[in-house]
Structure 1
Amino acid sequence: MNTTTNPPRPPAPDAAGRTPVLAARDLVKSYGRVEALRGADFELFPGEVLAVIGDNGAGKSTLIKCLSGAAVPDSGTLLLDGAPADFRTPAQAKAAGIETVYQTLAVTPALDIASNLYLGREIRRKGPLGTLLRMLDTAAMRKQAEEHIKRLGIATLQDITQPVETLSGGQRQAVAVARAAAFGSKVVILDEPTAALGVRESGQVAELIKRLRDHGMPIVLISHDMPVVFELADRIHVQRLGRRAAVISPATHSMEDAVAIMTGARTA
C-alpha cells in the first residue's frame, strides 16, 4: 500500500544485481498512539534465508503482519518481484504466493497429515460428486501429500494417514512448514519455528528449513533463538524502534554484535 504522492523507491538489488522477491519501503503502522513501524524497510532476495530479530516492541511482528497481509500499513509500499503489491488480507498474500507459519500452529489435531496439508485447499472429486455433493478426493490428497513430503525429505512423517494429534511438537511443526512450502510459490514466512521444541526436534526443523532453501525457496525466519539464527540465516535483518537498524551476516558479525545492535549499544 503506497499512500504517498511520490513514487516508491525502487527495491535495492543485492551484490549480484538480483531484485528482491519481497520488499518494503518506508512502512508506517500505528495502533492508537503507539507507532509500531516508523519508516521500516525490508528486502528478501531469491533463495535466501533472511532472519528477522529484535527486542520486544521493536516492530518485527508488525512488519511480518504487513508483509503477510495480516495488517495493512498506514503508509509505505510493499513490492513483490519489484512491482507494488497491496495485501489487505492474508488470503490475498497467499494468493500472491506468500505463506506464513505462525508460532501458534494452525493445524487441526483430529485430521490426518494429508488433510492438514490441504486444509482450506481441499481437492474435490471430479464430476457431480465434487461439484454438487462437494465430496473430497481423499486418495488424490494423500497421494500428492506423500509425494510432497518425500520431495522435501521429511523422514519424521512416515504415514500421511496418521492423525496430527498423535504427532510430536516437531512433527506438527514439520506438517505446518510442509503445507506452507506446498503452496508458497514466492515466499515462506516462519514465525518462531523452533519455539517450545526440544534440542532434537529443533534440529529436525532446522534441517527442513535448510532443505527448503536448497529447493530455492526464499524464507523469512523470525526467531529469538540466536544459535538457530546464526546456523540458518544468510543475512540478518535487525529491527529496532520500529525501523531497520541494520542488515548483517553471520559471516561478518557475531551473536554478541547482533545483540548489541538490537539494544542500541552499537551500530553495524
Structure 2
Amino acid sequence: MKVLKVFNNSVVLGVDDSGTELVLLGRGVGFQAKPGDVVDDALVERTFVPDGSTTAERIAAFVQEIPRADIETTEEIVREARRVLGDHVTDHILVPLADHVSFALRREREGATQIDYPLRWEVENLYPNEVAFSREALAIIERRTGVRLPAIEAVPLALHFVNAQFGSAADLDVTMRMTEVLTETLAIICTEYDVQIDERSPVVARFVTHLRYLFRREQQGRQLPAVADSLHEAVRAAQPREYACGQQIADLLGQRFGWDVGAEEVIYLTLHVARLTATALAEAGERADG
C-alpha cells in the first residue's frame, strides 16, 4: 500500500494494489511520509473504506476531528449492533455514527440545550428493534465515557442502524423521508377504513419490514418477479377495496420518490392492507364487545 496524501501525523490517504483508496489512522503513520511512499503497516491501527456516499477526503476530515476514544466507543457499539441486529450493520456506518456520538458527547459535556429530534414518535413505533438496541448503545457510551446521554439520543442512533439496511450508498435523509412515508402509508389505511392501527403490533411490523425491503429493492434497481395477469386480476377482483388502497400507497411512493411501482408490488401491498385491516377491525370489535 502506498501513500496518496498526508493529512497529519496520524491520518493518511492510501491506495492498495487494486487501486482502492483507504483512509488510514495510526500514531505516526503520516510522520515524514510523502506521496508515493510505502505505508508502514505496523503503524496502521484502523482502516476506513469510502463507501460511495462520501469521499475519502471527507472521511479523513471526520477522523481528524473525532477523538480516538469516541471512535473506540463507536466500534464497540457497531460490533454489538451487528450481533444483535444482523450482518447488515457493517463498518460503513462507523464514521457517521462516531461523528454523531462524538457530537452528542461534546454537547452534553458543554451543557448545551437538549435537541428535540423530529420523527421521535415515528422512529420509536416503526423501528422498535433498532430503538431498543440504541438504548443499549447509550449504556455502552455511559460505561465507557462516564457520560449519560439523554434518552432521546436513541432516536438518531436508531436511524443510523435502520440506514445500515440500505447499504453503503444510503443517505440518512432518505431514511428519514422513508420514515415519514411509512407514517403516511399507515394513515392512508386508517383513513380509508376508519380504524385505529396499533403501530407496535406484529402485523404492522411485518408490513413495515416489507416496505423497508421495497425501499432497498428500489435503491438497488431490483424488481419483484413478474406475476401472471390472471393472478393480478384475481386479487383485484377478490379484494377491490384493499387493492385500491394498495394502489394509493403505490401512487404515494411514486410521488415521493419517483418510482414506478409495478403491479407485482401492488399485489403484495394489497395483501398487507388486508391483513392490517382485518386485525384492526377485529380489535375494534373486541373493544366494542368489552
TM interval, short-chain normalised: under 0.3
Larger radius of gyration between Structure 1 and Structure 2: 2
What is the TM-score of this pair, normalised by structure 2? Answer: 0.23
